[in-house]
């Protein structure tokens, strides 16, 4: 994918990025060596070839498997610094990144190692690259709500380092309402709320209804099929609930990029944004996602700039920082 000078230079804000999904094969090998872990593949080409997902579960298997090399606080710092270094070159200015503590605590890595490692990288990235960032803690929806609640309570020791909470992993059979109590408590603790509503899953519209009406999210991650429901669509336009769409990710785990839906939703007045989701697995960082919309959607530069401004508008950055990002 060839990035145009306009897309390269556009100031960018990323709101839908799983930091564990930025683990590139080269760093995976380095961490495996450091931690004495045997990997199934020995070249980047072999690893890429193994990424043959055709739906969310097949992607998630590779994604969770890849995380085994992340063991120490330093590993999380190196992971996030590699991401920041890479997107500094794409003119990314601000990132609100997801992390999945349960994907680590469930295999014996402490919450403390994860968050102190990420926190160190955030501070260093602001110093080195001028990129500001925040953390959004995601719960894994295919685990029980009790485990999410325990994770939420554990996170309170680090309350001021975490801006919001989200919900990810396999949505099929795991509706938002399963986590209503957890999110109500998170809200009471002052966390901002978002949730994944993946495209093309059974019951998707009902899940979108739940996140808006029962959970009370400020944003929806993916959620582009809300376009099928004019009533819910008008609610998110009125309330300014934005969507974080990930075109290249969609080509792997749903039935296409959904670029046409991005155009329709923007026309309808939805604050929709472009993001990379899991760039090391899907083969595209945020600039590649903007370029994908430019190439496939045939949209003009003003449209791309509007999407970029939408991200500032719906970001959770403090007002002073938002003014600088505009």
Closer residue to ligand ADE in complex, CB, 169/224: 169
Q: What number of helices (H) and strands (E) belong to the chain?
A: 17, 8
Which listed option, ligand ADE, Zn ion, none, makes contact with residue 198 (CB within 5 to 8 Å by class)? Answer: ligand ADE
In 56-121, DSSP assigns E strands to 92-99
What's the min distance (Å) between Cβ of 179 and Zn ion? 16
Which listed option, Zn ion, ligand ADE, none, makes contact with residue 14 (CB within 5 to 8 Å by class)? Answer: none
Name the residue with tokens 């609610």.
Answer: 235
Q: Is 104 annotated as a binding residue?
A: no
Closer residue to Zn ion in complex, CB, 277/288: 277
- Footprint (CB under 5 A) of Zn ion, residues 262-321: 277
HEC-encoded secondary structure of 126-192? HHHHCCEEEEEEEEECCCCHHHHHHHHHHHHHHHHHCCEEEEECCCCCCCHHHHHHHHHHHHHCCCE
- In the complex, residue closest to Zn ion by CB: 277
227 near 264, Cβ under 8 Å? Answer: yes
What's the min distance (Å) between Cβ of 168 and Zn ion? 6
123 near 152, Cβ under 8 Å? Answer: no
* Start-to-end Cα distance in the chain: 27
Closer residue to ligand ADE in complex, CB, 249/325: 249
Binding site for ligand ADE (CB under 6 A): 18, 21, 56, 63, 168-169, 196, 198, 249, 277-278
What's the min distance (Å) between Cβ of 199 and ligand ADE? 10
Closer residue to ligand ADE in complex, CB, 103/312: 103
- In the complex, residue closest to ligand ADE by CB: 168
Q: Is 16 annotated as a binding residue?
A: yes
283 burial via Cβ count (<10 Å: 0-12, 13-18, 19+): middle
What's the min distance (Å) between Cβ of 47 and ligand ADE? 17
Q: Is 277 annotated as a binding residue?
A: yes
In the three-class reduction of DSSP (H, G, I as helix; E, B as strand; rest coil), residue 323 is classed as helix
Which listed option, Zn ion, ligand ADE, none, makes contact with residue 94 (CB within 5 to 8 Å by class)? Answer: none
What's the min distance (Å) between Cβ of 192 and Zn ion? 16
Which listed option, Zn ion, ligand ADE, none, makes contact with residue 169 (CB within 5 to 8 Å by class)? Answer: ligand ADE
What's the min distance (Å) between Cβ of 233 and ligand ADE? 22
Closer residue to ligand ADE in complex, CB, 133/251: 251
Q: How many residues does the chain have?
A: 326
CA 218 to chain centre: 15
Maximum pairwise Cα distance, the chain: 54
Q: Is 170 annotated as a binding residue?
A: no
Closer residue to ligand ADE in complex, CB, 63/183: 63
Closer residue to ligand ADE in complex, CB, 63/83: 63
What's the min distance (Å) between Cβ of 269 and ligand ADE? 26
Instruction: Count CA within 13 A, CB hemisphere, residue 3.
Output: 16
| Alpha carbon distances (Å) from 152 to 112, 147, 166, 169, 187 | 13, 9, 11, 17, 11
List interacting residues with Zn ion (CB under 5 A). Answer: 277
Annotated binding-site residues read 16, 18, 196, 277-278
**Which residues contribute to the annotated binding site for substrate?**
278
């Amino acid at each position: 994918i060839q990035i145009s000078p306009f897309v390269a230079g556009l100031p960018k804000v990323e709101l839908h990025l799983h930091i564990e999904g930025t683990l590139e094969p080269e760093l995976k090998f380095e961490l495996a060596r450091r931690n004495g872990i045997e990997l199934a593949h020995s070249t980047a080409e072999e690893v890429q070839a193994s990424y043959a997902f055709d739906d969310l579960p097949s992607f998630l298997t590779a994604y969770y498997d890849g995380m085994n090399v992340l063991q120490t606080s330093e590993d999380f710092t190196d992971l996030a610094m590699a991401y920041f270094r890479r997107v500094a070159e794409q003119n990314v200015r601000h990132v609100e990144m997801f992390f999945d503590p349960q994907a680590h605590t469930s295999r014996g890595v402490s919450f403390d190692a994860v968050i102190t490692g990420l926190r160190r990288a955030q501070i260093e990235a602001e110093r080195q690259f001028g990129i500001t960032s925040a953390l959004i803690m995601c719960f894994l929806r295919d685990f029980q709500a009790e485990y999410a609640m325990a994770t939420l309570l554990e996170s309170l020791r680090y309350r001021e380092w975490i801006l919001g909470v989200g919900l990810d992993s396999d949505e099929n059979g795991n509706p938002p309402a399963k986590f209503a109590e957890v999110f109500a408590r998170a809200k009471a603790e002052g966390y901002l709320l978002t949730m994944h509503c993946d495209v093309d899953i059974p019951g998707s519209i009902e899940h979108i209804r739940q996140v808006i009406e029962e959970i009370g999210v400020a944003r929806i991650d993916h959620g582009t099929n809300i376009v099928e429901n004019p009533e819910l669509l008008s609610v998110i336009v009125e309330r300014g609930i934005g969507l974080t769409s990930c075109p290249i990710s969609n080509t792997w785990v749903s039935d296409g990029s959904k670029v046409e839906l991005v155009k329709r939703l923007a026309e309808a007045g939805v604050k929709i944004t472009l993001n990379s989701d899991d760039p090391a697995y899907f083969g595209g960082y945020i600039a590649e996602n903007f370029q994908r919309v430019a190439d496939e959607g045939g949209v003009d530069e003003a449209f791309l700039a509007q999407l970029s401004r939408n991200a500032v508008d719906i970001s959770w950055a403090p007002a002073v920082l938002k003014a600088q990002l505009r």
